[in-house]
């Protein structure tokens, strides 16, 4: 049985869970990654260029397999073999492990980009369904094209188009031309988000109440009409 002293004397090798979860996505086989771990373990223990015969013994593999896996690690740029001068001025070889972290960073950024793209595509599909639900009928080809232009050419956020649709529905105006006027009005005011839409609604409400002398303490509050987007600001 290994004593606690012996256990602690061997030290620890710390590996990020991100790497453990994604090494297959980096194109590494189990054997290749295990060899990478053995090389990294030696590096953590202060040996930057370990004897591959010793690692072969630890892994229970023959040296040909070890050299093959090492060659794959070098090809996949998750390990780099470099040279440097030691304290005595002698050139020595060592393994550089930064390549795997660079590839992992790129992989995570690509995954995040793909997730955002999938989320945006789902928002767009939901937007078309929302239009059809509010209009109570399937959209025509021209209407699909018009909404597509808002997204692709005008670069309106799907959520902003959704809020413009809600404004139109509240005004009982089931018209893409009407919605287009709303979007253009918001664009002129640099309104691009839900928070900005809500702030603009509060501004209109406040302005109307001020015009109707709503600050009086007595008397009923005036009814706030819907904003007519076909009229000027």
Which domain CATH number covers 78? Answer: 1.10.10.10
Average pLDDT score over the chain: 89
Do 92 and 142 reside in the same domain of the chain?
no
Mean pLDDT of 134-150: 96
The answer to whether position 32 is within a domain reads yes
H or E segment to which residue 155 belongs: none
CATH code (residue 183) = 1.10.10.630
Mean pLDDT of 146-175: 94
Mean pLDDT of 169-195: 92
The answer to whether position 201 is within a domain reads yes
The answer to whether position 83 is within a domain reads yes
CA distance 47 to 58: 15
Mean pLDDT of 50-70: 97
Better pLDDT: 213 or 175: 175
Q: Name residues whose C-beta falls within 8 Å of residue 111's C-beta, 6 or more positions apart in sequence.
A: none
Q: How many domains does the chain have?
A: 2
pLDDT greater than 60 at residue 221: no
The predicted structure's pLDDT at residue 225: 47
Q: Of 96, 126, 147, which residue constitutes the final position of a domain?
A: 96
User: pLDDT tens digit string along 10-21?
Assistant: 788 999 999 999
CA distance 169 to 152: 23
Q: Name residues whose C-beta falls within 8 Å of residue 179's C-beta, 6 or more positions apart in sequence.
A: 161, 164, 165, 167, 168, 173
Do 92 and 144 reside in the same domain of the chain?
no
Mean pLDDT of 148-161: 94
Better pLDDT: 210 or 100: 100
Do 61 and 142 reside in the same domain of the chain?
no
Query: Which region among 16-25, 172-181, 206-215 has the lowest average model confidence (pLDDT)?
Result: 206-215
62-65 long-range Cβ contacts below 8 angstroms, 24+ apart: 65/31
The answer to whether position 102 is within a domain reads no
Look up the domain containing 84 and give its range: 4-96
- Determine the angle formed by the axes of helices 98-135 and 141-152, rounding to 10 degrees: 140
The predicted structure's pLDDT at residue 228: 61
Choose among 15, 82, 30, 40: nearest CA to 61. Answer: 30
The predicted structure's pLDDT at residue 83: 96
| Residue linked to tokens 């002129």 | 188
Share of the chain above pLDDT 70, in %: 91
Q: Name residues whose C-beta falls within 8 Å of residue 24's C-beta, 6 or more positions apart in sequence.
A: none
């Amino acid at each position: 049985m290994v004593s606690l002293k012996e256990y602690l004397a061997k030290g620890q090798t710390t590996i990020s869970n991100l790497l453990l979860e994604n090494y297959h996505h980096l194109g590494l086989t189990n054997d290749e990654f295990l060899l990478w771990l053995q090389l990294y373990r030696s590096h953590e223990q202060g040996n930057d260029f370990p004897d591959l015969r010793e690692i072969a013994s630890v892994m229970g593999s023959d040296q040909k397999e070890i050299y093959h896996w090492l060659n794959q690690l070098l090809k996949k740029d998750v390990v780099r073999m470099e040279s440097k001068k030691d304290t005595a001025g002698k050139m020595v070889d060592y393994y550089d492990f930064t390549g795997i972290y660079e590839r992992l960073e790129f992989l995570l950024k690509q995954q995040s980009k793909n997730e955002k793209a999938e989320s945006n595509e789902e928002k767009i599909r939901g937007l078309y369904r929302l239009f059809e639900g509010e209009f109570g009928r399937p959209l025509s080809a021209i209407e699909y094209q018009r909404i597509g232009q808002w997204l692709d050419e005008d670069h309106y956020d799907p959520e902003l188009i959704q809020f413009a649709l809600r404004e139109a529905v509240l005004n009982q105006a089931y018209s893409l031309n009407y919605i287009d006027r709303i979007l253009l009005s918001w664009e002129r005011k640099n309104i691009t988000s839900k928070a900005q839409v809500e702030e603009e609604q509060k501004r209109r409400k406040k302005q109307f109440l001020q015009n109707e002398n709503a600050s009086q303490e007595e008397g009923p509050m005036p009814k706030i009409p819907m904003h007519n987007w076909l009229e000027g600001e």
